[in-house]
Homo-oligomer: A and B are copies of this chain.
């Protein structure tokens, strides 16, 4: 099966959270289709490539999914090395599965390059571990804004005892809070709402399950944001932010072995 498209996770924002594999693929791409949520600094790794912006955020909801897929297919059939850059990871709320399947059905293979998902980076950079012995035995990544109009089973989630990490939840904070309270989750369950995860302008709004709607409002919380709900949200692995910035290392090969 040939040609090939790379579906690349650009990570949460900080360009240093790109993987070596992503950098390697970007360096070889001839056309790069870029989503809105991707930090433009990431494009410094593919100065040779033609950049096509295919974001779907904002007022005009411009580029339909079908059009993006057809565009990838057309470039791939022209024999170009095509990369598609998505925020976070392509297969966690990124439609990577759909796109890979659609392209595969038309004879185009995909290579998926994992990225650090925004929920993980948001928590870590706020000093919150997603799992912690004796406190959170697991973590659930969920979206409040589903594309197929179904809602998560908040009651099952409340009972699961896992840390809940909610993507695309800013518009549904009140609803989420009510549902989880109704499902029996404690009103004082800690919540952390994190705007623009991993970027210098990241903001953290600490709250609780009962107060999160009011607090988000007072904080003027805006998308993109990640909501962390669970006991670990009260953790602040203190001292993290005080780490000195990393200096430039000596030049090193991206990979040693064949």
The residues of A with any CB-CB pair to B shorter than 8 Å are: 1-2, 4, 6, 11, 14-21, 23-25, 27-28, 41, 44-45, 89-93, 95-98, 100-101, 103-105, 108-112, 114-117, 120-121, 123-124, 127-134, 137-143, 146-148, 150, 152-153, 155-162, 232, 235, 237-240, 242-244, 246-257
Q: Residues of B contacting A157 with CB < 8 Å?
A: 156, 160, 162
Which residue of chain B is the closest to A183 with respect to CB atoms? B156
Copies, count? 2
Which residue of chain B is the closest to A154 with respect to CB atoms? B160
Q: Residues of B contacting A153 with CB < 8 Å?
A: 159-161
Q: Residues of B contacting A90 with CB < 8 Å?
A: 124, 129
Which residue of chain B is the closest to A109 with respect to CB atoms? B239
Contact B114 A121 (CB under 8 A): yes
Contact partner of A114 (CB less than 8 A), chosen from B25, B124, B238, B255, is B124
